[in-house]
Structure 1
Amino acid sequence: MVKSLCLVLLTFVPLLWFARESDGMPDPARRDLLMREEVSRQTGGLLTLTAAEQKLDTCLHRLKEQEMAATLFPPAEHFFKAKLLIEKSPIYKLLQKMPKGAALHVHSSSLVSAEWLVKNVTYRPHCYICFTWDNSVRFLFSNRQPFPRWDCFYWQLLESLRARIEDNAGFDNSLIQHLTLFTEDPDGEYPNQDVVWEKFEKAFIAAAGLITHAPILRDYIYQGLEELHKDNIMYLELRSGLSRTYELDGTIHDKVWTLKMFQEVTSKFKQNHPEFFGARIIISVHR
């Protein structure tokens, strides 16, 4: 009887101990150890912060808590509504000053802001505009009025058109809307993905007439590098189909000319900004 009782105790006491260890309540010390090990395996997890870095980390953490406690939390809003909040955000302004390394997937058609295209490029001489039947626009630089084509029956010199318009600021904003997806009512304007994609395609087609003009393309690449550099980006990989570029007289340049021009502009930018590492083109196709 005593022997049987001892056997029972030897069998069940270890099981009770094991059940305590696996009952869903782990040892807090072991849990903290596991969390520290997980953090150590993250990028930079083995680095020890200096006193100044710890001070910055504390400041950044405080700013994040303040932003999360605000009435409007940018990540919870539609991007079109959150964009202004983000630009005013202390965290955004802080991150903007920090080095970013590289931008590895930028398309040549969207390298530069739409504001620069409208308020700089469309004000240059010999720029023509046409309003299409499907509520879009086309641009073309020419030393004479372009001939009508299937999607553009009437080309107007932008300089002359602006001279007849009283509200040039409003007109420029309407052009910017043609070159972007931005709208104050995204849910109503884009009820489904097909509508968004159609507007997306129209924006790139509209910009193409500006960007593929040879003198503009040269300035466009340089301006794009300037805008990236302003955000402390030090290297660029640009995806491009290398569309043919044109001159005022209609002369067409091939892809080799475009590649050489890109190389020249990048070299010039590096001379003016020695800390910039460089840029390369990744040839892609339209999908």
Structure 2
Amino acid sequence: MNGLWWRCLSLCIFIGTSIGAPASEPSSDDNYWAQRSRFLIEESQVSLGGRMHFEYGERAANNILMAAKEEEVDEGFVDPSSFLPARNFLTVVDEVRGSSTFQIIEKMPKGAALHIHDTALTSADFVFENITFRDDLYVCRPADGSFQFRFRRVADKKVTCASSEGWELLADLRANSSIKDEVDTRIRQAMTMIVPDPAKAYPNVNVAWIAFQNIFITIEPMLTYLPVYEDYYYQGLYELYDDNVLYLELRSTLPTLYDLDGNQYGPIEVARLYKETTERFVKNHPDFIGTRLIYAPLRNANDRQMDDYLTTFAALRKEFPDFVIGFDLVGQEEKGEPLARFVDKLRAVSPSIRLFLHAGETNWNGLSTDENLIDAILLNATRIGHGYALLKHPRVLELAVEREVAIEVNPISNQQTILDFGARAVSATTSTRLS
């Protein structure tokens, strides 16, 4: 056996132990079980919710929820294949919706949604059933089988189409009964990652991210049509409200919007749309607390683009000081720039801004992607998005607990980007009261 390999193995076995230390004295049976009981109590107290005090009817409500949850856990212990959280969400989404635990949670108040992205705000059903049936929506069908959508006037030549058919009115395609069903099926498929065999379709993180990003490449030209964007955002608020979510912090790239007259609308106008639409929604639903905006452009940026981001953010804060609350960078970490590249720029403005940074959304260890966690904590991030690699950085974990930096845990997202199929990161962070 190779000596180096054996030494590494030995290190793995003995790390954290005091080699040669005397064993503790065996305790009596009564003392052992008392120690064990105290151990379980202490462990539960330091876990998420361990020190909560129930009021009014909260304990009774909790007992109902826990009974449903424990029934599913017990069934899963006997038959692991029946335990829905351990299976790919894309294959069990309908079963999840039908579970007793989900149906109870669905009716419960949720408080706040703190990690939602702008063009992933509503259900795919709303996009398909409402937006794709609107007037003036054209489709381009290039040879690669993809669909490109845009609201436009008939004579608009500004946006080219790589198809011999050119831009076709979607309503006309649907009027053709011989292709209507195929067109609708392909549109629906382009809006979701749901496939019969996700493991085969998305064998690794890069393939999964490409499929994920292609959804937004497909739908964004539809959503960024000004009248649609306002309706889409209002519908997103309604769907959250209908789910008993009463407050939203929205991450937005503040995409450029357009109208049929060729006008374009930049970050200030888009932020104003969010603010005014939120105010209209709150007026119609007075128990909804409101929305705050986190400006979150793409992390795949160069120095000049980062300067532009921060200039835009400063303008947003000046115009909407109580509405725009922070800054983030979004996108696949392996393909984007590490936070370390922009540390000096972020440090120059960080005393006056709050950072809500995506960091550690990766399985890697010792590379720039997971080391984003180090920069996030040193930049005094208010919250960390995903933080999947947090357990590989114990000092970051320690500081996150000490500084009460919340970790925005996203188990379904982690699963679909091929990071975690068993919610291990969720279990680890909730057990330490981090999330």
Per the normalisation by structure 1, the TM-score is: 0.84
1:10-55 Cα offsets, whole Å, 9 max, x none, are: xxxxxxxx7233x999521232123223333445434454684443
State the structure with more CA Rg.
1
1:217 pairs with 2:235: no
* Greater Cα shift, 213-222 or 34-43: 34-43
Partner of 1:258: 270
CA contact under 8 A between 1:143 and 1:248: conserved in structure 2? Answer: yes
Paired residue secondary structure (1:106): strand
Paired residue secondary structure (2:26): helix
Partner of 2:130: 120
1:58 pairs with 2:63: yes
Q: 1:166 to 1:89 in 2, by over 3 A?
A: farther
Letter in 2 for 1:96: E
Q: Which among 10, 20, 33 is matched to residue 26 of structure 2?
A: 20
Q: Distance in 1 between matches of 2:55 and 2:289?
A: 27
1:170-196 Cα offsets, whole Å, 9 max, x none, are: 533321210221111212222332222
User: Shift in Å at residue 138 of structure 1?
Assistant: 1.1
Q: 1:90 to 1:245 in 2, by over 3 A?
A: same
1:155 pairs with 2:167: yes
User: Shift in Å at residue 101 of structure 1?
Assistant: 1.3
Paired residue secondary structure (2:254): coil
Q: 1:150 to 1:129 in 2, by over 3 A?
A: closer
Q: Distance in 2 between matches of 1:209 and 1:195?
A: 23
CA contact under 8 A between 1:136 and 1:202: conserved in structure 2? Answer: no
Measured on the aligned residues, the alpha-carbon RMSD in Å equals 2.4
CA contact under 8 A between 2:142 and 2:161: conserved in structure 1? Answer: no
CA contact under 8 A between 1:145 and 1:156: conserved in structure 2? Answer: no
| Higher RCO (C-alpha 8 Å, min separation 6) | 1
* Greater Cα shift, 227-236 or 194-203: 194-203
1:35 pairs with 2:45: no
Q: Distance in 2 between matches of 1:118 and 1:48?
A: 44
Q: Distance in 1 between matches of 2:47 and 2:207?
A: 40
Q: Distance in 2 between matches of 1:167 and 1:150?
A: 20
Q: Which runs of 5+ in 1 are unaligned?
A: 1-17
User: Shift in Å at residue 115 of structure 1?
Assistant: 1.3
CA contact under 8 A between 1:212 and 1:246: conserved in structure 2? Answer: yes
Per the normalisation by structure 2, the TM-score is: 0.57
CA contact under 8 A between 2:140 and 2:161: conserved in structure 1? Answer: no
User: Shift in Å at residue 102 of structure 1?
Assistant: 1.1
Q: 1:34 to 1:204 in 2, by over 3 A?
A: same
Q: Which among 93, 96, 108 is matched to residue 103 of structure 2?
A: 93
Aligned length: 269
Q: Which runs of 5+ in 2 are unaligned?
A: 1-23, 300-435
